[in-house]
Amino acid sequence: MGKKGYLILENGQIFEGDSLGSERYIEGEAVFSTGMTGYPESFTDPSYYGQILTMTYPLIGNYGVPARRKKLQLLAHFESEKIQIRGLVMSSYVQNASHWQSSESLSSWLKKENIPALSGIDTRTLTKILREKGVMNAIMTFEKPRNLSGFTFYDINRDNLVSYVSTKEKTVYGNGKLKILFYDCGLKLNQIRIFLRYDTTIIRVPWNFDPLKEETDFDAVFVSNGPGDARTMPETIRSLKEILKRKIPTFGICLGQQLLALAAGGDIYKLKYGHRGQNQPVKDIVSGKCYITSHNHGYSVVERSLPSDWNIWFINLNDNTNEGIRHEKFPFFAVQFHPEANPGPTDTEWLFHYFVNEAKRWLKIT
């Protein structure tokens, strides 16, 4: 293990641990995830951009990190091209990883990508603080703090975080009948992988792409997940308002749901400690079925703010917050959870097929 490091919360509480990654000073938002497995996918999920992630499962690193290889132009085993978390906190690091696909240790990967990480932290106490007080700004430093007067805590959610993780240029995948304009707000690669199974062409564009100014032929729209506060993205909201006005089939996931709600005239709010993990139960209000789903979000839709022609689709059975919305007449809908999983259960992966079928039916594509 490396030198001692310190996680300092904005409320003044300090946690000392052992370094296993890069040893540099960072600022971020302290959050926690209840997932037991899937850390290569989680750490590369752009929705975590700017966050110092605490893993509640006590043993991390026990199956190492898989090799980087591409399939269909996309990295396998990872959800973006690099680690997106700002820093990592865990209880126990497993140095001797064991898995047939492992190519390096977690510590080696973190150091290579310049990500600070601490083990030996009392993550139960830390998680209880974040659960009871709410997520908060934090610092990770490798110099022993003498007092807190010299530290400043920056709120990352003031910034448009999506602008840091979105693609910078248009990219096309596949050659199917249904052309989907795919807003990359910090997408997870598995969303593209799944859509390509269903006779689609994916046109991946930046978060601020204006379909009215750009000459792009498309049939339907998808809005991905991503980090931060959707209200920092007025350009995307304006474009989505026009898309809805033109009755173009539209599907959003996570941040995409929040953007769609804002474009429809609704509002969003920040959750106390968010939903992060792969074990969240949601209920389909239409069918009455319950699904276990993967989550990574800190904001939710204010249900009462939605126009009367938008209906509640899914709710969270832990805290009754909104997990899905849909228009009563037109093919517009969104979910707050991650049906693409990676990591997590694939119980709701059918939503991708459902969107493709609904779009084709609306557009009369056979």
Complete domains list, the chain, with CATH: 4-158 (3.50.30.20), 162-365 (3.40.50.880)
Residue 360 scores a pLDDT above 70: yes
CA distance 196 to 232: 30
CA dihedral 155, 161, 165, 167 (to 10 degrees): -170
181, 204 Cβ separation under 8 angstroms: no
Provide DSSP, 189-255: HHHHHHHGGGSEEEEEE-TT--TTTS----SEEEE---SS-GGG-HHHHHHHHHHHHTT--EEEETH
Residue 88 scores a pLDDT above 70: yes
Q: Residue 72: which pLDDT band, with cuts at 50, 70 and 90? A: confident
Q: Is residue 254 flagged as an active site residue?
A: yes
Catalytic residue among 23, 275, 338, 358: 338
Q: Is residue 340 flagged as an active site residue?
A: yes
Strand pairing report for 65-66 and 102-104: antiparallel
Report helix, strand or coil for 20.
Answer: coil
Half-sphere exposure of 47 (CA within 13 A, CB side): 31
Q: pTM of the entire structure?
A: 0.97
Which range is least confidently modeled, 15-19, 26-30, 98-102, 301-305? 98-102
Model confidence pLDDT, tens digit, residues 199-257: 999 999 999 999 988 889 999 999 999 999 999 999 999 999 999 999 999 999 999 99
The alpha-helical segments, DSSP class H, found in 322-363 are: 350-363
- Which pLDDT belongs to residue 149? 77
Mean pLDDT for 315-323 is 98
Strand pairing report for 310-316 and 178-183: unpaired
95, 107 Cβ separation under 8 angstroms: yes
- Which pLDDT belongs to residue 280? 97
Residue 261 scores a pLDDT above 70: yes
Mean pLDDT of the chain: 97
- Which pLDDT belongs to residue 1? 61
Cis-peptide into 211, omega within 30 deg? no
Q: How far apart are the first and last CA of the chain?
A: 59
Catalytic residue among 254, 275, 295, 327: 254
* Run of H or E including 279: strand 267-284
User: Helix, strand, coil shares of the chain as percentages rounded to 5?
Assistant: 25, 35, 45
Q: If we measure between CA atoms, which residue out of 23, 16, 31 comes closest to residue 2? A: 23
- Burial (CB < 10 A; 0-12, 13-18, 19+), residue 308, is exposed
Catalytic residue among 10, 41, 79, 340: 340
Name the residue with higher pLDDT: 151 or 304.
304
- Burial (CB < 10 A; 0-12, 13-18, 19+), residue 96, is exposed
What's the alpha-carbon Rg for the chain, to the nearest Å? 20
